[in-house]
C-alpha cells in the first residue's frame, strides 16, 4: 500500500526548505558584511603615487613601503576603490595566514 502525504505535510516540507535556505543566505550575508566592516576599520598605509596600500603589520618588512616617498596612514573606509594591495604585503599575508 502506497502512503499518500497530505497537502499540509507537503506545504510544511516546502516551507522548511525555503526557511532553511533563507537562514543560510542571511548567515552568508552577515559574514560578508562583517568582513567588509573589518576591512573598513583596519589601518593601512597608502602610497597615493603608486596607488597601492600596505598592511599595517607588514609595513616595516615591505621593500616597496620603505622606498615609497610618502605614506599616508588611513582607515579602510577612507581609501578609494582604485587602490590595490601591495604584492609583497599580500605574499607575506599568505605566508603568515590569518
d(CA 36, CA 76): 9
- Other residues' Cβ atoms within 10 Å of the Cβ of residue 71: 16
Q: Which pTM value belongs to this model?
A: 0.60
Give the pLDDT confidence of 41-86 residue by residue, as tens digits.
888 888 888 888 888 877 777 888 878 888 888 888 888 778 888 8
d(CA 11, CA 72): 58
Could you give the C-alpha distances from 42 to 20, 32, 37, in angstroms and in order?
Answer: 33, 16, 9
Task: State the average pLDDT for the chain.
Answer: 85
pLDDT higher than threshold 80 for residue 1: no
Q: Where do the structural domains in the chain lie, given as residue ranges?
A: 1-41, 43-96
Amino acid at each position: 500500500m502506497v502512503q499518500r502525504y497530505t497537502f499540509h505535510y507537503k506545504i510544511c516540507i516546502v516551507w522548511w526548505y525555503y526557511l532553511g535556505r533563507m537562514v543560510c543566505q542571511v548567515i552568508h550575508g552577515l559574514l560578508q558584511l562583517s568582513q567588509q566592516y573589518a576591512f573598513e576599520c583596519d589601518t593601512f598605509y597608502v602610497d597615493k603615487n603608486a596607488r597601492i596600500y600596505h598592511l599595517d603589520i607588514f609595513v616595516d618588512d615591505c621593500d616597496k613601503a620603505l622606498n615609497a616617498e610618502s605614506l599616508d596612514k588611513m582607515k579602510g573606509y577612507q581609501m578609494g576603490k582604485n587602490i590595490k594591495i601591495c604584492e609583497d604585503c599580500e605574499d607575506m599575508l599568505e605566508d603568515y595566514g590569518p
